Structure 1
């Protein structure tokens, strides 16, 4: 589908590299960022242009909105206690020019996005929301929470069972902006996502071109660094971070900002964390993109030992209910008929039977049988990673039980044994 002509008279047209400046113009008008902090020659190098579109009212000459989608993967609950990876187009750079707000532009672009994915047989779409009030009305829901941790230099991580192993590991750091560092980071990133619920897998293109140094974007910080952890010469984890140096009353007050920590095992995570809180001339260390039951939080002493900020993480949208619910696995057997409410994607708004066998493998297909639950598509997206349970959403009146016991049955089947990670930014 190359274009779509919604009722509002907005045409959605494909964009290519020749449209770079026009795309950046719309994005800058919508988000009013400092253009000097981005390299216009390379800021879009990781775009997948066949997934990039603009909205126009004159056939494409003038853009009133833009969006792109990245080809990503998402680690979801698998059968029983396993994990599985499913395709997840990552919706991003969604921008509407201020001159064209509230005129159907965003609706046209999202309708186009959903229709494309439906034609391609894709089950889910994901995004990070700049404004949380917007995307719920298009069927997205928060599927994971993101925790930011802040602690002082020298914070103690207590994990007696891991001390001996962590002590044998080696750490070293180097500038992130090198082919060697980026290749190693991407290899470890892909390896770790397979065993990390909620993890979003970057594309190979992202792995090659992201994390290049652009001096104006540092804003007083050093160039981005990466710390590797290794066991017997084999890398087992990494942390991306930057340090900023400040002085107050003659004393150093530097900050270490850790944007991502990835480890193939808990001993490697512990070794990295202990090194990151032990830099000279620093007083504060922050960790982004952590989960609500993250080991770092509990090794450091729990919520009263560190400063915590919690935000919405990954938002998910079931574009094809049958495919999405068949692609993930389940914790218990289940047989329920869902009456799905979805006013944006009409192909979803019908009754579906979800049948899960005793091995946790499910199949979801259309049915004419009486419904056991009436459920909005947002509720399924919220529960998709196993965190925001169907039962808790029913208590808030979001899900309506039509057969006694159906809520509990579906809720137990969709739950996971761990909280999902929030997923990397895209």
Structure 2
């Protein structure tokens, strides 16, 4: 029988999600996590591929607004739940879903599609480029100390019920979004992602704990959510602090929260993942090596409507450059485009008949889009070709951002 691809019906969600869990190794999600994802799923943006009543392919998208350089919140499709049954590999299932999905994103007027990749090699051929990395640390707090800025001791910390503190934490998060490209503004329901343990069992960790940082006037300036994993060895306690979130509005609150986490009784290691690669923590610690920093890819960006996407962000320097863009999967983006920006917030992008200054793929343009990957570094790898002397440096300076792009949570 021929495979059938169709929009997901609500009564098919459990079968569709069962397929997805098996595709990702058969590790099942907690009932709470499963129910949260059910409520977040946008059925009209979800695809299922069926073979005689069996779900063999899935792909979904969330309606996000993503922060870009300059602080604008740009509509973006958050691609997720992508999986193909191992029995149906190499039959064009993934390609057909990506084709349908990107066509729908374009029709819906979203300039961007973004995703986190279980296997980055898969999505490059569909035009997604790695645009943001994430930092992970594992800090030996017996040997690493913090140097904190003035005002840290004036910050008041209080333990709070994660549910009751949620509104205050979300206010802090919302204030940070415009200043950090790659952060999605929270849509309704997404604030609960941080409160639900999607793992099956707890693997020996404590319940979620929240600590809130307040200024002298009582205004909330930051928060951290974490779990403690107690452990013991013949020589005594060997507990670990697992930091899930830490957001703060100023240096003093940032330092106060990290110092608190470093000093939790009976723990000697602090672990944190999904941090920005320019996290101020790296400049607070006394020994970066013993903090064991490592990075990995996080957010992958795909320009769906190239001129709309390029006009939505601002540029750090004036630029006037003609780019020859290759995009075989979304051919409406292919061709020669002139990007002109004054460096003050006004940018125009339109088709051009002028000679090209740069040649690159839409994938590499997606990598540079949020300002964290420089065009010069892509040029050094042969991924961007300079056709007019000086054009690469000019464009790279304009695209580069002041802060590293950051995706604070998965989707």
The two structures share one fold, judged by TM-score above 0.5: yes
Partner residue of 1:174 out of 160, 167, 176: 160
- Taking the TM superposition and a 5 Å limit, the aligned residue runs for 1:62-101 are 62-78=54-70, 83-101=71-89
Q: 2:381 maps to which residue?
A: 396
- C-alpha distance after superposition, 1:195-218 (max 9, x if no partner): 223323331221146523578442
Runs of 4+ in 1 over 6 A off after TM superposition: none
Partner residue of 1:322 out of 284, 293, 307: 307
Question: Is the aligned partner of 1:113 residue 2:107?
Answer: no
**Root mean square deviation of aligned Cα:** 2.1
Contact 2:28 2:200 (C-alpha < 8 Å) held by counterparts: no
Note the C-alpha offset of 1:302: 5.3
Contact 1:326 1:363 (C-alpha < 8 Å) held by counterparts: yes
Contact 1:149 1:297 (C-alpha < 8 Å) held by counterparts: no
Contact 1:192 1:264 (C-alpha < 8 Å) held by counterparts: yes
Partner residue of 1:363 out of 348, 354, 366: 348
- C-alpha distance after superposition, 1:45-97 (max 9, x if no partner): 22222222212356xx332111221222222212xxxx332222211111111
Question: Is the aligned partner of 1:51 residue 2:39?
Answer: no
The 10-residue stretch of structure 1 (31-40 or 92-101) with the greater mean CA deviation from structure 2? 31-40
Contact 1:200 1:424 (C-alpha < 8 Å) held by counterparts: no
Output the CA distance in 1 between the equivalents of 2:314 and 2:92: 37
Q: 1:211 maps to which residue?
A: 195
Unaligned stretches of 5+ residues in structure 2: none
Contact 2:231 2:239 (C-alpha < 8 Å) held by counterparts: yes
Output the CA distance in 2 between the equivalents of 1:359 and 1:121: 25
Output the CA distance in 1 between the equivalents of 2:119 and 2:80: 13
Partner residue of 1:418 out of 384, 403, 409: 403
Output the CA distance in 2 between the equivalents of 1:33 and 1:333: 51
Contact 1:46 1:210 (C-alpha < 8 Å) held by counterparts: no
Output the CA distance in 2 between the equivalents of 1:397 and 1:107: 27
Unaligned stretches of 5+ residues in structure 1: 1-8
- Taking the TM superposition and a 5 Å limit, the aligned residue runs for 1:9-28 are 10-28=3-21
Q: 1:189 maps to which residue?
A: 173
Output the CA distance in 2 between the equivalents of 1:351 and 1:47: 37
Q: 2:208 maps to which residue?
A: 224
**Number of residue equivalences:** 408
Contact 1:65 1:95 (C-alpha < 8 Å) held by counterparts: yes
Contact 2:307 2:349 (C-alpha < 8 Å) held by counterparts: yes
- C-alpha distance after superposition, 1:348-385 (max 9, x if no partner): 11111111125242111122222221110111111111
Contact 1:152 1:277 (C-alpha < 8 Å) held by counterparts: no
Note the C-alpha offset of 1:36: 6.0
Output the CA distance in 1 between the equivalents of 2:289 and 2:198: 37
Counterparts in 2 of 1:35 and 1:419: CA distance versus 1, 3 Å: closer
- C-alpha distance after superposition, 1:217-252 (max 9, x if no partner): 422111222221111222111112111111111511
The 10-residue stretch of structure 1 (226-235 or 316-325) with the greater mean CA deviation from structure 2? 226-235
Note the C-alpha offset of 1:41: 4.2
1:64 partner SS: strand
- Taking the TM superposition and a 5 Å limit, the aligned residue runs for 1:209-288 are 211-212=195-196, 216-231=200-215, 232-249=217-234, 251-288=236-273
Note the C-alpha offset of 1:184: 2.8
Counterparts in 2 of 1:337 and 1:302: CA distance versus 1, 3 Å: farther
1:118 partner SS: helix
The 10-residue stretch of structure 1 (183-192 or 332-341) with the greater mean CA deviation from structure 2? 183-192
| TM-score, structure 2 as length reference | 0.93
Note the C-alpha offset of 1:420: 2.2
Question: Is the aligned partner of 1:405 residue 2:390?
Answer: yes
